[in-house]
Amino acid sequence: MKKFLLVSLSLLALSTPQVMAQIAGGNADRAFAQCGAISDAARRLACYDNARTNQPAPAPTSRYPEFGAAPPPRPQAAVAPPLPRNGKLTAGVVRYSVSSDGRFTIELDNGQVWKQNDADDETAQFKKGVNRVTISKGFWHSYDLRLNSMSAIFKVDRVK
């Protein structure tokens, strides 16, 4: 049994370069048929892909880093914190929209976009022309918005 396994692996190792040579030589049909004899799934898939595109197979690479190697760097979050360190943001409103259910979405002059929370049923009164908002931290990880220094407070969530 061990001899059979050894011979099979040897034939496989010898047949893979032949398959790649046939691909490079333009015998893609024969190379495609021989790809089925490759037992390693990644190499077999690469063989089929290369037979289809008539390109030589790339060297197999591991998806997993070597033991003890540093992990790949994680992507950094592109979103800035919602509020400055002092916990209060005052900005001008560039544009706003009000949905059919009366809830607003605003875009601030710093590029942030905020939306009135679904649980908040207050109606905002925007002025024509310049509108300013102050956003501060609320209770239980929420945010409060005051529009044009009015006493009404709106619960909002940051969209962007």
What are the pLDDT digits (tens) for 117-130? Answer: 888 888 888 888 88
Given 3-state DSSP classes, what are the helix, strand and coil percentages for the chain, each rounded to the nearest 5?
30, 25, 50
Contacts of 116 (CB under 8 A, 6+ apart): 103, 104, 105, 122, 124, 145, 154, 155, 156
Residue 118 belongs to some domain of the structure? yes
Residue 39 and residue 100 in one domain: no
pTM of the model: 0.48
What's the total number of domains in the chain? 2
Please report whether residue 112 resides in a domain. yes
The dihedral built from the CA positions of residue 55, 59, 62 and 65, taken in this order, carries a sign that is negative
Task: Tell me if 39 is assigned to some domain.
Answer: yes
CA 92 – CA 131 distance, rounded (Å): 6
Residue 116 resides in a domain: yes
Q: Give the model confidence (pLDDT) of 58-104 as tens digits.
A: 555 555 556 666 666 766 655 556 666 677 888 899 999 898 888 99
Q: Which domain does 11 fall in, by range? A: 2-53
Domain assignment of residue 102, yes or no: yes
